[in-house]
Structure 1
Amino acid sequence: MLKHRFTRALSLSPERLHFAAHSHHLWPDVSYEAQGLAWDDANRHADRKWDLIFGEVIPAAQGHVARLLGLPDANSIVFAPNTHDLLLRIVSAVEKPTVRILTTDAEFHSFRRQSQRWEETGAAELTTVPIEPFDSFEARFLAEAQKGGHDLIFVSQVFFRTGTLAGNLEPLAALSRPEGPWVVIDGYHGFMATPTDLSGIHDRVFYLAGGYKYAMAGEGACFLHAPDGYGPRPVVTGWFAEFGDLEGPAGGVGYRTDGGRFWGATFDVSALYRFNAVQDMLAAEGIAIADMAEHSRRLQQQFQSAIQASDKGLLAAARWLNPVVGEQARARFLALKHPEAATIRDRLLEAHIVTDVRDDVIRFGFGPYQDEADVERLIAACLSV
């Protein structure tokens, strides 16, 4: 549906089929132009660059995120080079010797690794709920959360390995309080992958995501939505948080009173130029998240129907972790479990088809730079592997 907007990226490797849009999403042509504009602005404005960044570039990016998530106030949003930086600031704001965290066994490595290391040092106490069996996860996780005794509840909107969803987040949000627990949603595989409306829970949840995948902006455009009154004084703090309406003890460290209290320090803002350019492109094309999600669903269904109807190839014996069923919200990738997942990935790569593997799960990502002909080529390759 947007293949004509990816001519530069596709021409750089014309023989390749990139079915890893959920991993390193290709960049549209407008992002190349935006990267050049960031360079021009930095040198044109030099010492006054940050007036432009905070006066125009950041507000535009905040406005786009707020619109896409149904947030009433764009000032609840701050940006960082990666979500790990933002995670550190959230947890530092708890200000307890040991932070009690409820989470799952399927979180992305940045949280999994950091939380386990905190637990090793006594800085965190983890309660981990398995996501399998999938059918009962939502009820089991909520029941554990309702037991209380947690400072932080951390869960992915869409799990990165399996493509399964956490489900209805409103009951979790209902447990959230400024004094704790805080609910933190990792939305990286949900943001711009499936329509996401936080309007009903924006005042009770943190939301982390970024532009590396479905927002098509590449690395460096990660963001945090922070609800008012939650974590007013993060211990891990940068000098950007000094600018604005401040409050704090006399002679002490002041913090902004909006989401800006979670700002860090100087970072490469070219990613925000790319993010804004992509959003402007989508507006010009009249394409919404729902349109891209439906395009991806159709391509996934095309692939799934052909593979499941055949007994050829290794994938005939694969377990489908998140098959297309009905019209409910879903991930923009299909996850198939197979003991030879890595072998399948390698053989497809020999045919210039890019997928990716997480342990014994091979993932096929479907995006706006693919069409039905691309999927047919993928199907043919898979049936011969």
Structure 2
Amino acid sequence: MAISPRDPDQQTFPLSDEQRLAWLRLIRSENVGPATFKNLIGHFGSAQRAIEAAPNLSRRGGRAIRIASRPDAERELEAATRAGIRFVGMGEPDYPPWLRHADAPPPLLSVRGSVAGLTRPAVAIVGARNASVAGRKMAFMLARDLGEAGLLVVSGLARGIDSSAHEASIRTGTVAVFAGGADVLYPPENAGLLAAILEHDGAAISEMPIGWEPRARDFPRRNRIIAGMTLATVVVEAAERSGSLITARLALEQNREVMAVPGSPIDPRAGGSNGLLKQGARLVTEARDVTEALAPLLGRFSEPASATGEFSAPDIQDFEPADTDRDRLYEALGPTPVGLDDIIRFTGLAPRTVQVLLLELDLAGRVERHPGSLISLR
């Protein structure tokens, strides 16, 4: 069964060169992650206005932060251009449409290679680095058949299962998501595989700065992109403490399909994937299991976009909540994550007041964001 490409989100907008530069400055600023970026744009209407307001907000939250300078952003843009990399903003036509609906989507993706396939319906295939021959063969067959059915195959360019999935889908379309910068190959032995992907109009993408060397803590962030830009995550051979299980959990948290290939119960490389099946993941033995499950989901995200854009917004740069409001909010927060609606309900503060106070604390590095829009004190 062939699946036709379909963009579930038609509301897109291009960024001007100046807007793209401001977006890059804002996301590279201290304590500004994807969620904070989105909230700042939502409040101030543009990245430039958010940049102007952020220092005062962070000082009110208790700590001054560093805003990325224009020269720093210009140097990164120049380095990206030299490496054949372009930046695609959330909401632009080439941004992966399902990623817009994920938790904390990257405001900017650096893309090395072709952007043509990024808007296609996609499936993630992930699994063990030390995969068995049988596991690699299964990943190869799944990726080949899913690619022939019209699906983009997404993985992390790691050894083992990831590599097999990419190899099988080079000619039909595959995207490698990097934990480091889009110009930083990891692992180095996959240089030939990456070259083949790029030669056949595939892509390598990342949210990290150009030249960024991946660290252990960057791989879960990478996995969130893999899970977020795909309709389903298929796990092939994963141990009980595998990073692939993080991808599966993130997919589940974002209401995407989680599937797994059954493995031998005496092979520790299948302990995690078999565990997913026990927990209710869809069992996969052939590509048809995936395509039949996804067919009704292709229209699932057809609602109007809530993607971050550049738009007019109420001028709240001069709005400063009272100290008593700030104290009330801080007393209401603790180490246990709570939702924004609960904070508003129990403090009795106006939503606008709570949002501005949380921005202050966010920029000062005093609160932590959790999946499901939950918030706690650091």
TM-score between the two structures when normalised by the length of structure 1: 0.30
TM-score by length of structure 2 reads 0.30
Instruction: Name the structure, 1 or 2, with higher relative contact order (CA <8 Å, separation 6+).
Output: 1
